[in-house]
Structure 1
Amino acid sequence: MVTSNDIDIQGVRVTIHAEHPGVTIASDIARSWLLVPANAPDRFAPPTEAGVDAVILDLEDAVSAPDKPSARQRVADWLAAGGRAGTSSLWVRINDATTTFWADDLAVLAEAPSIAGVMLAKTESGSQVEATADRLPEGTKILALIESAMGLEAVADIGRADGTFRLAFGSGDFRRDTGMSDDPMAMAYPRSRLVVASRAARLPGPIDGPTLTSNETILQRDSALTANMGMTGKLCMRPEQAPAVNKGLSPSAEDIVWARETIELLGANGERVRDGSDLPRLAKAKKFDALAAAFGLS
């Protein structure tokens, strides 16, 4: 049996599910976000064993300008044929609002069968999010992808815009725009800005940029960095990256044991709190315990 309940995670009210095979992880807490080129329909549904939390069909950077109309049609046809059934949470990355492709993408998706939402490429203002929301069915969720210095400067406005569901970091394009390196110290500032903006806007934790290699050691290192920065999701380029990302962005076995011992010690409702440090500890423990249930960890 699958159980679900609402809980406050980092100030955000989300629905969690005790995970069993085939159960979709709630988008609020999804860890691995797989980007799939929209002109590669054979890759739209990753293998179940990959454990990908969310799939993003990419109409933007993964598709050249001449191929965008045909890729857009492939996505529409696949959705119309029921291709979404049985997949992970499904999203579509649309082209940025300054291009002619943006309106074409939205015209097709507004008529397509239901998807979880869209990722707006190169978001640089809250008004771009709101204009996107206006062209989609009411309530469609929007992942705002921050990929430039201008986008980062406007991130607070973007986070508060109607329609923004979660922020994401387009780290590669951001480095190209700013000239920054991929050194963790150089990237600490933009990552921190996204985390703070998300928290201030009462959004779920932001999604970090991808690691380009499938080397497990490097993926584990980068996923640990993502978690340490306060980000709760990570873009993936290949399905085989998902297990390491999911592990790195989930409570560890030690976290789960500590959480359950802390809840037992202090009481689920804080009835045995002893001093001012106990309530923050209990809140952290309850967060770990809730995530463990959501991800099916014991």
Structure 2
Amino acid sequence: MTAPSVATCPTPSLTSDLARSWLLVSARDVERFTPAAEGDADEVILDIEDAVDPSFKDAARRDVVAWLSANSAWVRINCRESPHWDDDVAELRGSPGLRGVVLAKVESAAAATETFVALGRTVPVVALIESALGIEEAVAIARAEGVMRLAFGSGDYRRDTGASADDLAMAYPRSRLVVASRIGGLPGPIDGPTVTPGLSLLREQSAVGVSHGMTGKLCLFPEQASVVNESFSPSRSDVAWARGFLADFDERGGVVRDGSDLPRLGRARRIEELALAFNLSVD
């Protein structure tokens, strides 16, 4: 049986490299922007790519830029090859509330770096990998200038490859993104979304992502954020073990007893780091 998770308190200062839940909001739904930003999601992504018909992109982009003048969020922009990319980066550049961009359909390191440069080299890029070619180029993308994290566009990947949504079929691309992130010195990648609103399947799919080494997940519904935050946080038993191990290690003066001590020390310190970052309580 999985141990219950620790309680999660608000984490207003959580940095994007540790963010667990990434809530996508259509850029056409202006009335949802503020409620989403005030909700449970660690990060909000205003989507001017797939969520907006081409005929409405200009108006949606203007609404996003206007909202970002007094608020803060990420924006999913159109892919580098899209005719809308130039307008996306030109109008978003300099927006005071732009936390970063999620670049759609990344298949090369150049696409990510060109986006970073076009935005003034000050805005981080999450590279959304959504195809077989993107998975193949994942290591180069992870090493590209400006890329802060990788994310998995699982739906488009399945359409591109014909793969099913089965956990086994998705194991290779997930693992590939985890390995690429590690090689590129990035935090763990952000998993694709659970497309149905039910929370039971979301819990199951989040657990699969965690088991592969993913450290966050895209969300399509606001109510998914709290479940994702819980799933991608250390459990109560993890935190209790880590704190017990660290206390024992300190009490013996940091003496390494055997070859298993250093790996366990690294794991314990990472769990404690996350527990502090997520403001987790075991009381």
1:105 corresponding residue in structure 2: 88
> Is the deviation greater in 117-126 or in 269-278?
269-278
Residue 59 (structure 1) shift: 0.5
- In structure 2, the CA distance between the partners of 1:152 and 1:268, relative to structure 1 (3 Å rule), is farther
- Answer yes or no: is the 8 Å Cα contact 1:46–1:52 preserved in 2: no
Q: Which runs of 5+ in 1 are unaligned?
A: 1-18, 85-89
2:105 corresponding residue in structure 1: 122
2:214 corresponding residue in structure 1: 231
- Rounded Cα–Cα distance in structure 1 between residues aligned with 2:20 and 2:114: 27
Correspondence 1:242 to 2:231: no
> Is the deviation greater in 156-165 or in 41-50?
41-50
- How high is the sequence identity, in percent, across the aligned residues? 52
- Answer yes or no: is the 8 Å Cα contact 1:97–1:128 preserved in 2: yes
Residue 219 (structure 1) shift: 1.2
Q: Which runs of 5+ in 2 are unaligned?
A: 1-7
Of 170, 177, 188, 1:194 maps to 177
**SS of residue paired to 1:193:** helix
- Answer yes or no: is the 8 Å Cα contact 1:93–1:120 preserved in 2: yes
- In structure 2, the CA distance between the partners of 1:113 and 1:282, relative to structure 1 (3 Å rule), is same
What letter is aligned with 1:66?
S
- Rounded Cα–Cα distance in structure 1 between residues aligned with 2:89 and 2:155: 25
**SS of residue paired to 1:246:** helix
4+ residue stretches of structure 1 with deviation over 2 A?
19-22, 45-50, 267-270
Residue 266 (structure 1) shift: 1.8
Equivalences for 1:81-100 in 2 at 5 Å? 82-84=70-72, 90-100=73-83
Once the two structures are superposed, residues 230-282 of structure 1 have per-residue CA deviations (whole angstroms, 9 ceiling, x without a partner) of 00010000110011111100000011111111111222997132101011001
- Answer yes or no: is the 8 Å Cα contact 1:172–1:209 preserved in 2: yes
1:44 corresponding residue in structure 2: 33
Residue 186 (structure 1) shift: 0.2
Residue 48 (structure 1) shift: 6.8
Once the two structures are superposed, residues 64-117 of structure 1 have per-residue CA deviations (whole angstroms, 9 ceiling, x without a partner) of 11010110011011122x133xxxxx2100000111101110000113224111
**SS of residue paired to 2:176:** helix
- Rounded Cα–Cα distance in structure 2 between residues aligned with 1:117 and 1:274: 45
TM-score (structure 1 length as normaliser): 0.88
- In structure 2, the CA distance between the partners of 1:274 and 1:103, relative to structure 1 (3 Å rule), is same
Residue 139 (structure 1) shift: 2.4
Once the two structures are superposed, residues 169-201 of structure 1 have per-residue CA deviations (whole angstroms, 9 ceiling, x without a partner) of 000000000000000000000000000000001
Once the two structures are superposed, residues 126-181 of structure 1 have per-residue CA deviations (whole angstroms, 9 ceiling, x without a partner) of 01011111111222100000000111111111111111110000000000000000
Once the two structures are superposed, residues 42-78 of structure 1 have per-residue CA deviations (whole angstroms, 9 ceiling, x without a partner) of 1112357741100000010000110101100110111
The total of aligned residue pairs comes to 274
- Answer yes or no: is the 8 Å Cα contact 2:9–2:280 preserved in 1: no
Correspondence 1:53 to 2:30: no
- Answer yes or no: is the 8 Å Cα contact 2:37–2:44 preserved in 1: no
Give me the CA root mean square deviation: 1.7
Of 149, 153, 178, 1:166 maps to 149
What letter is aligned with 2:124?
K
**SS of residue paired to 1:239:** coil
- Answer yes or no: is the 8 Å Cα contact 1:270–1:279 preserved in 2: no
Residue 21 (structure 1) shift: 3.6
Residue 20 (structure 1) shift: 5.9
TM-score (structure 2 length as normaliser): 0.93
- Rounded Cα–Cα distance in structure 2 between residues aligned with 1:187 and 1:289: 30
1:184 corresponding residue in structure 2: 167
Equivalences for 1:248-267 in 2 at 5 Å? 248-267=231-250
- Rounded Cα–Cα distance in structure 1 between residues aligned with 2:268 and 2:209: 20
- Answer yes or no: is the 8 Å Cα contact 2:11–2:279 preserved in 1: no
Residue 22 (structure 1) shift: 6.1
What letter is aligned with 1:39?
R
